[in-house]
Structure 1
């Protein structure tokens, strides 16, 4: 999808620079040409030889290289690309971009260009959260610079939080979107996420331990592939991704109504952990302790959103994907759920306490489909989302070609 596209890749100095090597490989697999530029700090992490070998191009490093200035000046180099990608974009590089500094090749290229710029930040969580970095981020966004990531996770320094550079395939997806080559451009996708809260009284409710992290990552991955994303989320622990249409709900009935309002869509991914039951006649006043004992709660079944949408006779999405959080016999239970619900795929995982998946940063899923059970290795939830979104994009493209 990136055939004949020219990418100028500026590699900043940070441990995430090693990911730039895989990024080059992924871009070239898709037909793009990559012209690499290394900062001095980047050479502490990756070598010009390894970068050039993967890119099949000379690696540019020096601003004052008379041979290169005679053959291709930095002005021409900065403007001959379809897109400039800065990965990793360090705090230093972002600061230089905001200040308009041009004291090395990378910063001069960024100053001398009118080509679109995409940054993939990578830095320590405290550096990312620092007010100066956040000011720089806002200013660069106001200047028209686009960003992918950073992701949240474990750092090389041993800390945890936002600041990890996006995975190479996530960056590739963002590049495709920037260049109008996103495989889901023109497609509309629905994603549900998070838990639902079923009220007992004004201060108590029934809920579950879902953080909403996986569903949020899925919505972000779809947006990166160019899709129009309708994101229906319960009261999750994580903020919704940027660039999607957000509908916030509390209860299962509200989520069901929001799903109906979002249809029709080309694909629907039901990642929300919807409560199976609700309290009948929830009190509008706080229930008080009583000597008569505990209050009797009567339960009723909530709407089965996945099953209802899967069996729609008109307006059923071409691809319906459900999630199954299991604690034992994962494949057996998830396969039965797929048959029972009538959806196309089930993304199943083991959420027993020992796995640390529920509420954690990683996931290990099994994709259940007509083709059987496909086990994926344990990986970050962003990586799971990107792989799932790619697989759904491929399926939609195949369906379109068959028609």
Structure 2
């Protein structure tokens, strides 16, 4: 048996995307060259830019190609802080949600520990939501010190969707740029990014069915973050480097497919998610769901995200037992895999370390089926028994 339930970490590349990437890779050409091959490569890039902009509801000039979510987050956080503090040294305070991906958290930590910035953490409620009132209170504590706001659109661990449009409206009242990491949201939620008016938006390809190594930072035309790298001046002078033409073509195709299928795919995935959650709770009624969840919900929680709290069980131990049975899942972000520590997201939501350690993240995607849910539920009873026995043995030994 092989069951893949870790689509939030990465999802299989779509066959249509493989075809367009392979076809584009056969053509030589640097998109910055002026000869025929270069102009042909540039045409692929610009057509991809226009396609992505159309599908996401933004302007083509706002689409900046990057290597993925981590680079885009770093560009937005560091670059905006540097630009804002250079214009006004008072603006060195960042308002950051406490449940961000480590691509944001570690960028913030770098700026704080090197003495370049201060941070105010925006704490979520027990359901994992950062409310507009929390943001407003943080801004009003000292409006002239705020450099930027960053709140992710949909959480990569518990799947909770944030009220980004409302948060952006608060930030806009005070003239503060807002960044949102939308890596988990784009293609999975019904979005019109342009209407929300967040200033900087991160997205990446490998969560959508494009290859790893291509992403975007959507930057409003009035945003001018200081570049992390310098070179050829590509991408509005914000992100220098030779453009990955096949990657751009693949990303454009993946975004188009994901957006076109989203409205029919969301209820399908939500149905599988709910079957998985309800089946797990039927096996063990003590299992609960982390974050906001009601059956059928596709707006306030990601359709394909089931994040379970499993009492008296170590999540890492359960993961390994399930993996041995052919079920691949996660305890949290893949970028933190292998680090035996409780989730910062769950701790921020008010859970104890013991509760946070007993978590399991199961995420569905375009290849998921009812057979995957059945496979997980068949493996779960033995997994629970063995992991709990291991925890008891460890407790006795200590």
TM value normalised by structure 2: 0.22
Higher relative helix content: 2
TM value normalised by structure 1: 0.22
Higher relative strand content: 1
Q: Which of structures 1 and 2 has the bigger CA Rg? A: 1
- Greater relative contact order (Cα < 8 A, sep 6+): 2
